[in-house]
Amino acid sequence: MAQEFFESLIACIRKDAETHPGQSIDPDVLREFMTDRTPPVPARKPAPRPVQAAVPAAPRSIPRPIPAPVSAPSPGRELPQAARIAPAPAALERIGSLDELRPIVLACSRCPLAATRHNVVFGEGDPHAKLMFIGEGPGYDEDMQGRPFVGRAGQLLNKMIAAMQFAREEVYIANVVKCRPPGNRVPSPDEAAACIGYLKRQIKLVQPEVIVLLGATAVNFLLGKRDGITKLRGKWLGYEGIPVMPTFHPAFLLRQESAKREAWADLQQVMKVFGKVYRRQG
């Protein structure tokens, strides 16, 4: 992280604080994000290529919402063949609140990730949040606790949110897949397809004003973009009329600290939408 860049940024913010008292961002909170020294999250292996023969065709229609097992399957439990890789049902559209959606997702066994999870990670935050963050999928800590972004990447995300002048409780945080892919690998296209309906319903119910997509997996599976995050980040995209800002995943930022500079530029664009940032040109 270029110290020079950071210091000039802080100087800018201080000037803004003088010009716009009460509306500028707190340099100390930004420093927390930019200088965070949380140990990096290890790089992950890509998802294994789907084996065609092992993936049954999705049923044409799913008449009922979702079968509701009483408790989550224990790790290692085999799923019935018919339950594997089924898309989220159209009936989700009738779900009118996050509270109604949660038990459905917690009972899901639509893909093989259900067999190895400890907890489903539904998502959390203000159900009417203006700002929504979407990651890839739960890691070890999230799987153990059933909450999104509570591990090392989550600690950095908290700092990003604070630097943006939001409280974590004010935003909504969700993932593309709600169950941990073993070894923290990238979810396969089939796993994402089985789960994405839940995320889309969450977005519809929360109705955020802006979505921040964390990392390429979220952009690829929500928006169908194929490019890498280095190409996608920092440029406004849209999802159903909602402005979407793709940026680096905090786990990547833990490994590649120099990329925080670009991530901060992306987050500032989001802050501007909420009138939270004042940035001098030149």
Query: At its nearest, how many Å lie between ligand URA and the CB of residue 175?
Result: 5
Does 135 contact ligand URA by CB under 6 A?
Answer: yes
Does 142 contact ligand URA by CB under 6 A?
Answer: yes
Query: At its nearest, how many Å lie between ligand URA and the CB of residue 151?
Result: 6
Site string for ligand URA, 148-177 (x = CB under 6 A): xx-x-xx--------------------x--
By beta-carbon proximity to ligand URA, the closer residue of 83 and 176 is 176
Start-to-end CA span in the chain (Å): 20
- 239-258: contacts with ligand URA (CB under 6 A): 251
By CB under 6 A, name the one of 137, 146, 181, 208 that touches ligand URA. 137
By beta-carbon proximity to ligand URA, the closer residue of 58 and 145 is 145
Query: At its nearest, how many Å lie between ligand URA and the CB of residue 108?
Result: 16
Query: At its nearest, how many Å lie between ligand URA and the CB of residue 124?
Result: 10
Whole-angstrom Cα distance, residue 53 to residue 104? Answer: 28
Query: At its nearest, how many Å lie between ligand URA and the CB of residue 155?
Result: 10
Site string for ligand URA, 18-47 (x = CB under 6 A): ------------------------------
Residue nearest to ligand URA (CB): 135
Contact 195, 178 (CB under 8 A): yes
Query: At its nearest, how many Å lie between ligand URA and the CB of residue 41?
Result: 8
By beta-carbon proximity to ligand URA, the closer residue of 177 and 210 is 177
Residues at the interface with ligand URA (CB under 6 A):
135-139, 142, 148-149, 151, 153-154, 175, 251
